[in-house]
Structure 1
Amino acid sequence: MEPKKVPVSSSAISLSNSDSQDSSMDYSHDKRDSNSLKNGHEKHKNMADSNNEDLDLRRVATKTTILSIMADNQSFTGDEYMIDQERIPVENDGEEFKSIDPELVAWELDSPENPRNWRPAKKIFVTIIVSMYAFISPLSATIMSPASKNLAKEFNITSSIVPALVTSIHLLAWVIGPLVIAPLSENDRLGRRLIINATCWITLVFNIGCAFSTNITQLLILRFCAGLFSATPLNVSPAIVSDMFDAKSRNVSLAGVFLIPLVGSAIAPIIGGYVVEAKGWRWVLYTLAIINGAIAVIGSCLLVETFAPKLLYKKAKSLRKSTGNPNFHTIYELSGDGFSLSKLKDTVTRPLVLLCTNPLVFGLGSFMAFIYGINFLMVVTFPAVFGKSYGFSPSTAGLMFLSLAVGFFLGVVVWTIVLGHVYKTLVEKHGEAKPEFRLPCLFISAVIMPIGLFWYGWSAQYKLHWIMPCIGSGMFSFGVVCVFQALQSYLIDMNPAFAASSIAAASMFRFFLGFVFPLFAHAMYDKLGYGWGNSLCAFLAIALGIPFPFLCYKYGERLRGWSNARMEKSEERRRERRQEALKKKAQALKK
């Protein structure tokens, strides 16, 4: 792809327009591979030694020009990498500015150092490592589900809420953790690798602490702290995949990263069931720590950095050292990119604002949250359902979670193909792409999920063969995948500039209900029984699952226009503040 041509005013002064023709002052960037990079920049040493006042003035003018272009040109505003405290997309990470700033470090065309240009085998390998990190999050959350009875016995707990809280409190931490920790991975000094590795090791420390808890209060506090950090891979893993693959080629890899947490939430109780039966609840946490530690070691040794701003920062730092020229910089350093309280405030508040003010985000987020809540309600109550009704041991009851895992796996395989085919067909039929074309399959899942809940509940109520409730729960989990994939794609497509915030808003709501639902699950089943308890969930799934997709499909374009106009007004005010800040920075450089 050819770099974008940058509009430069006639008054702009650039380093490339230097009056000096001395070859020692020629620092245009030639195409070169990574092995010759150091030698290719040796000619810049003289720049640092010359201490030329005129050259320094031209450097200042060049930076001023770039900052002014960013401030004035709307084509450089949007959602991409963080520059200063705003998101500004730059093709090839600043390649388009190199014609006026030869000291700007960006990717050479087809550079093998650019993660987008890595070999497919390397990309797949990194995706596998990242998926291992994503596995830790649900593993930590649900592995303690089969140990509820043992915890209640050891700590003399009579309430059904507290043992359920040991599992669900992890999800409460997931509401908060990603909003605060995940943005750190967008800092060009830190990058993805450091953050995902650090949070994995910190999660390990808290998981070990959980195993040595002497009372339920300690256990709950440490479980919450572990959840704060274990949630990070859920957000950073898709970002790492996006670093390596463009929008057209990342669907399969993202589907894999999406599948791992779902399957992990179903596999973890199987592990927990066998361990708690053989060794007790503390060994469940020891096992979790062993798996957590193994992944932390493997990831720390094998995971490579994928975040382009971080890689370019290291490249610029190396050039500054090898050439003796301290003026090499990246486009992100130019504007003073860095983590700040104001950036954190925007990251935290924007999803909340969207959730409270955007009817599409709230409506579809509510449906996603409700379905996710039912999913975790199943996770918490499976041991009791198959333990009481069928007399299964914890290990055998844990095997019943395979029905959820099979449903999730088949769902990702089937719905990835079906959703893509339906979307492509509608685009070809109408001659344009609309976010609403992501939604038709929801009408199928709106039927499958309630059927699964009815099947699961009444077969457990009448103690039919154990395979019957497993089939029902598998049908439900199969439909869940369609809901998540379709609605996440819709939230991204309805306004790409606010995609991250829309997903974050829906995730916050989803994790919160995932925390709440298990707390009343046992009381609901004790009062209504498995049949009517799951029927209540099924009726609510119908009440939410049919109207919302229908309204969004029929009136979505109108609602999007209204809600996007409101968001654009708010964003315009933020853009004006950003432009003013960049202009002030440019003026400060002139002085």
Structure 2
Amino acid sequence: MDEHDVQVPADLQYRAVPSTERQPLLNDHPKDPYIVVFSGPNDPLDPMNMEPWRKWLCAFVLGFMTFTVTFSSSVFSAAVNVTAEEFGVSVETMALATSLFIIGLAAGPVLMGPSSELFGRKAPLFIAYVTFVLSQIPVGLAQSAYTVLIFRLVGGVAASGSSAIVGGYLADFFAPVQLGVAIAIYSATTLIGPSVGGIVGGIVVQSSLGWRWIVWLTMIQGFIFGSIGFLMLPETYVPVVLTRKAKRLRLTTGEWALHSKSEEEPVDVMKFVVIYLSRPFLMLCLEPILLFMTLYISFTLGTIYLLFVAYPISFEQERHFGHISASLPFIPIIVGIIIGSVYVVYYSMTTLKVKLAKNGRVEPEDRLPPMIVGAFFLPIGLFWFAWTSAPTINPWPQILSGIPTGIGTQLIMLQSLAYIIDIYKSNANSAIAGTVIVRSFIAGSFPVLAIPLYSRLGISWASSIVGLMALAFAPVPILFYLYGSKVRQLSRYSPKIS
């Protein structure tokens, strides 16, 4: 047995022994010659030491897996009318197919987030993802509205593994500057997915393929990207990696006293339920930064799903666009999301890179300036959409309003996620799980509420109200940029860095 597999020089302890930032469920590491740690800062088992090409390949694969989930969340909205007619139910009933999927996304993180901080990233992610892919089969073969609604809910619960685990997955192997770029990729796929789903859904439903093919397309995507991910993605959660290393060393050396720190603290079912499953809810109640960011994220994501109702009303019913043509105005939103992503990548590779070189680290609040920009782009886009919605006005100004809406949405969603990850480190998955739970319930209610809202108030007034709500949220990133560091000092879940 190599002595470095057990103990390392003090000057290497910062990498060899995972700190509390990378061991959320473990206590501080005592000096014990039988504790298995990394063999040094260049240990190939350390996820941070993965080859750069593999890191970026993993980021893209995780992004495409998430794209399939968010694509599925909205694609069925195009089939609401035809399925309502086929199954003999109201349009409002079939609109629940979208809402139930999004609400389902709220249920899974209760289990997925904490599980990934106990059993590792890969197993919980792929167990859930396989279930999501298989849940498409009963929807595609459904002969009643109830079958569709039940398995859309099941699919949403299973799909939540992506949104609950991917953020922590990326944080396991990316340094701060590169993490900002990786999250830009992930966040872009999260937001582009619903927009593409709305467009593709409209095209497929109106084609000779019929509405069931929107389900089969989702299943095919999920199978392809899930298979690639299963083959390419390694386990990256440090306590699990070290536990596996300890097991190998026990077998190869015969030294049965060797063990990882996590093996000293076995977790029974009751402890898992009482402590770990409650963590996302406790963090939401006890962490003001997480609470306000969660509410802002929830509203922003809900706005996107609300527009899936507003756009068809405005362009198809009021402007009399064809069904497919009425879905094409989503393209400027996608363009805006891409522009927002490019801006964040540029900001990360310039401003953040300089701060990291100068100070040796990046403060969480350094993520917020782009979010502040986005906080004003979102209401601008919504007011623009509202005030150019009259059918007597040329449609192009209203269509182009999607660009600032997309920019604002992407900057808010992306940088708020990066901010949460930077604050809570390896507790990030529990924090993200709490965020996903709340945002899914709130965002899931928006498509249902949008129908009466836009029917009673009209496009202009309804969208103006949503714009005013977006404006009311705008001070949130400004306040945390100014006072966030002081608030973090009171946190029970944010690792303290001297």
TM-score (norm 1): 0.73
1:324 to 1:463, Cα distance in 2 relative to 1, 3 A: farther
Which deviates further from its counterpart, 404-413 or 346-355? 346-355
Relative contact order higher in (CA < 8 Å, ≥ 6 apart):
2
**Contact 2:113/2:433 (8 A) holds in 1:** no
1:301 to 225, 231, 242: 231
Task: Confirm whether residue 87 of structure 1 aligns to residue 26 of structure 2.
Answer: yes
* Match in the other structure for 2:402: 473
**Contact 1:183/1:344 (8 A) holds in 2:** no
Shift of 1:344: 3.6
CA distance in 2: counterparts of 1:345 and 1:389, whole angstroms: 53
1:545 to 1:342, Cα distance in 2 relative to 1, 3 A: same
Shift of 1:326: 3.7
**Contact 2:279/2:430 (8 A) holds in 1:** yes
2:192 to 256, 263, 270: 263
CA distance in 2: counterparts of 1:309 and 1:485, whole angstroms: 27
Which deviates further from its counterpart, 199-208 or 379-388? 379-388
Shift of 1:377: 0.5
Structure 2 spans left out of the alignment, 5+ residues:
8-16
* Match in the other structure for 2:416: 487
**Contact 2:163/2:436 (8 A) holds in 1:** no
Alignment of 1:29-428 (within 5 A): 29=3, 78-81=20-23, 86-88=25-27, 97=31, 100-101=33-34, 104=36, 106-158=38-90, 160-188=91-119, 191-278=120-207, 279-333=209-263, 335-338=264-267, 340-418=269-347
**Contact 1:97/1:104 (8 A) holds in 2:** no
CA distance in 2: counterparts of 1:30 and 1:445, whole angstroms: 48
1:219-269 deviation digits (Å, cap 9, x = unpaired): 111111111111111222222222222334322222212221111121122
CA distance in 1: counterparts of 2:332 and 2:433, whole angstroms: 29
Shift of 1:483: 1.8
Shift of 1:411: 0.7
Alignment of 1:514-533 (within 5 A): 514-533=443-462
CA distance in 2: counterparts of 1:342 and 1:327, whole angstroms: 25
Shift of 1:270: 1.9
1:81 aligned counterpart, secondary structure: coil
Structure 1 spans left out of the alignment, 5+ residues:
1-26, 32-40, 42-61, 63-74, 91-95, 572-591
**Contact 2:356/2:362 (8 A) holds in 1:** yes
Structure 2 letter corresponding to 1:81:
Q
**Contact 1:457/1:534 (8 A) holds in 2:** yes
Aligned residues: 486
CA distance in 2: counterparts of 1:482 and 1:166, whole angstroms: 28
* Match in the other structure for 2:13: none
1:31-69 deviation digits (Å, cap 9, x = unpaired): 8xxxxxxxxx9xxxxxxxxxxxxxxxxxxxx9xxxxxxx
1:347 to 1:473, Cα distance in 2 relative to 1, 3 A: farther
Shift of 1:391: 3.0
2:387 aligned counterpart, secondary structure: helix
* Match in the other structure for 1:543: 472
**Contact 1:180/1:344 (8 A) holds in 2:** no
CA distance in 2: counterparts of 1:509 and 1:517, whole angstroms: 13
* Match in the other structure for 1:66: none
Shift of 1:408: 0.9
Of structures 1 and 2, the larger Rg is shown by 1
**Contact 1:419/1:441 (8 A) holds in 2:** no
CA distance in 1: counterparts of 2:243 and 2:355, whole angstroms: 43
2:440 to 493, 511, 527: 511
**Contact 1:525/1:533 (8 A) holds in 2:** yes
Structure 2 letter corresponding to 1:353:
L
Root-mean-square deviation (CA, aligned residues, Å) is 3.5
**Contact 2:300/2:413 (8 A) holds in 1:** no
**Contact 1:116/1:243 (8 A) holds in 2:** yes
* Match in the other structure for 1:24: none
Sequence identity of aligned pairs in percent? 25
Shift of 1:560: 4.8
CA distance in 1: counterparts of 2:167 and 2:161, whole angstroms: 11
